[in-house]
Structure 1
Amino acid sequence: MTFGDQPAYLRVAGDLRRKIVSGSLPPHARLPSQARIREEYGVSDTVALEARKVLMAEGLVEGRSGSGTYVRERRVPRRVARSGYRPASGASPFRQEQAEEGARGTWESGSEQEDASAGVAARLGLQPGDRVMRTRYLFRDAGEPMMLSTSWEPIALTGRTPVMLPEEGPLGGCGVVERMAAIDVVVDNVVEEVGARPGLAEELMALSGVPGHVVLVVSRTFYASGRAVETADVVIPADRYRVAYHLPVR
């Protein structure tokens, strides 16, 4: 499709986007009003409104009640490490990364038992309704919410063991591999699938995101001799972070 074939609202949005990216409309600058867009581009009010909606959906601008629409600050995406190397400390990848000089990461978590949903059961090789330990995490970078994670482990595997609660006990805070080894379960494989989707309202609220923004979802499952021992969904704001993989070469 050539530029001239684009709908008018996309042509207007594209021109305004270029001004934002080039800095002609810098962060915190007020976007031209709907009337100004209509006059400058010779379009209708409907086209001007749709163009602004496109920029808002892309996260380039934000509306401020009673004030207008302003250019959002565009931050350089930071990396979230996913590593195939296991640190000698046994720490999880996030804890290992945050141990590096200059990192300012914190996290909070909570665990509770629940019945496995059909989706979780399928991932863990269980029957729907089987009991699992669900642990939810909120990770912060210098106080700013950066990542959510929800993990599930079969109670039939970890129940009544020292590692039943991932963040408590003698191995609290260690990675899945180390915790499972403590109950003689040898993790030998992990599968991660990365996808993108619009963030759920509750996710974006927790991550201080903009409604409609896209999140990256890393769906991870650890296996021991073909048996799934833990599965998790990691949710990351796509506009602020990039997932970086560091894998060993055999």
Structure 2
Amino acid sequence: MPFGEQPAYLRVAGDLRRKIVEGELPPHSRLPSQARIRAEYGVSDTVALEARKVLMAEGLVEGRSGSGTYVREHPVPRRIARNGYRTIGDSSPFRQEQADERLAGSWESTSRQVAADRETANRLCVEPGERVMRTEYVFRAGGEPVMCSTSHEPLAVTGRTPVMLPEEGPLAGRGVVDRMAAIDVVVDNVLEEVWARPGLAEETLALGGIPGQLVLVVSRTFYASGRPVETADVVTLAERYRVAYHLPVK
């Protein structure tokens, strides 16, 4: 193959992708069959199959058992606006975005004590096996699940205090900064890392996606005088959100 020339399956996938993006193949329409792709582009069955696989891997189409392959509907991505901590009742990306756009949303959560695994222990600067409070959230907008979150707090900090359970007690749902301040722990720094990875099956299914679909992860850790007091991963389907940071210039 000459240098710079695309393999046949990528050329076919590229043309089908163009038709999807430009609306020639609108959402919910059926992708041309393998036989039709073979005839229209003058390629082999193998090339036609590989082109369809590319579009499926990109999340542009989905297979329906016994029916065929169809163009997926892609939502217009919404922004998660991050402007640093603001006292708006909670500082999670989802709740901050709700406050910014007046979205009607809700969430449900469960909390339980667990032994910190190696990754959690590393993020909280504690020993593996140390007891932490694990809280799992599902956030909804318009009744549909849009984000999941898992947070961990060291019980060495919050244990036997009124804020031990993040969503119960006098400061339920008030956010890490306010809750920690109530027990004289002053949060003075927040680290966020944004990255993407293939979603776990349970994550994507819970969010209404398909297994293997890319998810966007906001990994966030709150610090008080250099000590981590909460760490969390907020997960959403990558096609739904973009993270926008507004940072002051000093």
Q: In the TM superposition, what is the alpha-carbon distance from 1:199 to its structure 2 partner?
A: 0.4
Residue 198 and residue 29 in structure 1: after superposition, are their counterparts in 2 closer, same or farther (change >3 A)? same
SS in 1 for 2:39: helix
Q: Give ranges in structure 1 of 5+ residues lacking alignment.
A: none
C-alpha distance in 1 between matches for 2:217 and 2:206: 15
Between 166-175 and 61-70, report the one with greater CA deviation: 61-70
Which residue does the alignment assign to 1:45?
A: 45
Which residue does the alignment assign to 1:92?
A: 91
**How high is the TM-score relative to the length of structure 2?**
0.94
> What code does the residue aligned with 1:201 have?
A
> What code does the residue aligned with 1:91 have?
D
C-alpha distance in 2 between matches for 1:139 and 1:160: 28
Indicate conservation of the 8 Å contact 2:90/2:176, yes or no.
no
C-alpha distance in 1 between matches for 2:89 and 2:184: 16
Residue 226 and residue 45 in structure 1: after superposition, are their counterparts in 2 closer, same or farther (change >3 A)? same
Indicate conservation of the 8 Å contact 2:81/2:96, yes or no.
no
Between 90-99 and 190-199, report the one with greater CA deviation: 90-99
Q: In the TM superposition, what is the alpha-carbon distance from 1:219 to its structure 2 partner?
A: 1.0
C-alpha distance in 1 between matches for 2:118 and 2:69: 43
Indicate conservation of the 8 Å contact 1:114/1:134, yes or no.
yes
C-alpha distance in 2 between matches for 1:212 and 1:47: 23
Amino-acid identity (%) = 77
C-alpha distance in 1 between matches for 2:194 and 2:75: 22
Indicate conservation of the 8 Å contact 2:12/2:51, yes or no.
yes
C-alpha distance in 1 between matches for 2:225 and 2:81: 26
Which residue does the alignment assign to 2:112?
A: 112
Which residue does the alignment assign to 1:200?
A: 200
**How high is the TM-score relative to the length of structure 1?**
0.94
C-alpha distance in 2 between matches for 1:3 and 1:227: 54
Q: In the TM superposition, what is the alpha-carbon distance from 1:98 to its structure 2 partner?
A: 2.4
Between 177-186 and 73-82, report the one with greater CA deviation: 73-82
- How many residues were matched structurally? 249
Q: In the TM superposition, what is the alpha-carbon distance from 1:125 to its structure 2 partner?
A: 0.6
C-alpha distance in 2 between matches for 1:25 and 1:77: 20
Residue 139 and residue 16 in structure 1: after superposition, are their counterparts in 2 closer, same or farther (change >3 A)? same
| Residue 178 (str. 1) matches residue 178 (str. 2) | yes
Which residue does the alignment assign to 2:76?
A: 76
Q: In the TM superposition, what is the alpha-carbon distance from 1:96 to its structure 2 partner?
A: 4.3
C-alpha distance in 2 between matches for 1:21 and 1:73: 11
Residue 171 and residue 203 in structure 1: after superposition, are their counterparts in 2 closer, same or farther (change >3 A)? same
Q: Give CA-to-partner distance per residue, 1:1-24, whole Å, 9 cap, x none.
A: 999611111111001000111111
Which residue does the alignment assign to 2:59?
A: 59
Indicate conservation of the 8 Å contact 2:201/2:210, yes or no.
no
Indicate conservation of the 8 Å contact 2:124/2:154, yes or no.
yes
| Residue 224 (str. 1) matches residue 214 (str. 2) | no
Q: Give CA-to-partner distance per residue, 1:198-248, whole Å, 9 cap, x none.
A: 001111111111222111111111100000100111112101111122334
Indicate conservation of the 8 Å contact 1:92/1:173, yes or no.
no
SS in 2 for 1:38: helix
Between 11-20 and 58-67, report the one with greater CA deviation: 58-67
SS in 2 for 1:54: helix
Instruction: After the TM superposition, list the runs of 4 or more consecutive aligned residues in structure 1 that deviate by more than 6 angstroms.
Output: 1-4
C-alpha distance in 1 between matches for 2:21 and 2:2: 21
CA RMSD of aligned residues (A): 1.8
